[in-house]
Structure 1
Amino acid sequence: MAAYFFDFIIVALLIIGITAINGVLTNGIGEKVFGGKRHSAIADHSAEIQSGWKSVGGKEKK
């Protein structure tokens, strides 16, 4: 019975790990292929919009 649970945990970790790696790789390929030349312009614009926002949550910096 212990061997069954051990095998189950190994398979579960493999499935979760392969899915996570597949998601990261697919996202990276998608950004390279479909991101276009404006990829950094969009990120810069988003950072510019958020520049005046107050920091919410976490501990206050001293």
Structure 2
Amino acid sequence: MTQYFVDLTIVALLVIGITAIMGVLVNGIGEKLFGGSDRMENVNQTAKTQTGWKLIGGKK
């Protein structure tokens, strides 16, 4: 019975891990292929919004 749970745990971790990795890879490929010219639009807008903000914490 213990072996069943060990096998179940291993398979569950593999399925979850492979699903997560495939999601990241497919998302990256999709952004590169279908992102078009405005794929950095959100990043640029965030940078514009944060202009003039004081930096807190971290190293300078």
State the match for 1:44 in structure 2. 44
Aligned residues: 57
State the match for 2:20 in structure 1. 20
Give the C-alpha shift of residue 45 in structure 1. Answer: 1.4
Higher relative contact order (CA 8 A, sep 6+): 2
Contiguous gaps of at least 5 residues in structure 1: 55-59
State the match for 2:33 in structure 1. 33
The TM-score normalised by the length of structure 2 is 0.74
The TM-score normalised by the length of structure 1 is 0.72
CA RMSD of aligned residues (A): 2.3
Contiguous gaps of at least 5 residues in structure 2: none
How far apart in 1 are the matches of 2:33 and 2:44?
20
> Secondary structure of 1:17's partner?
helix
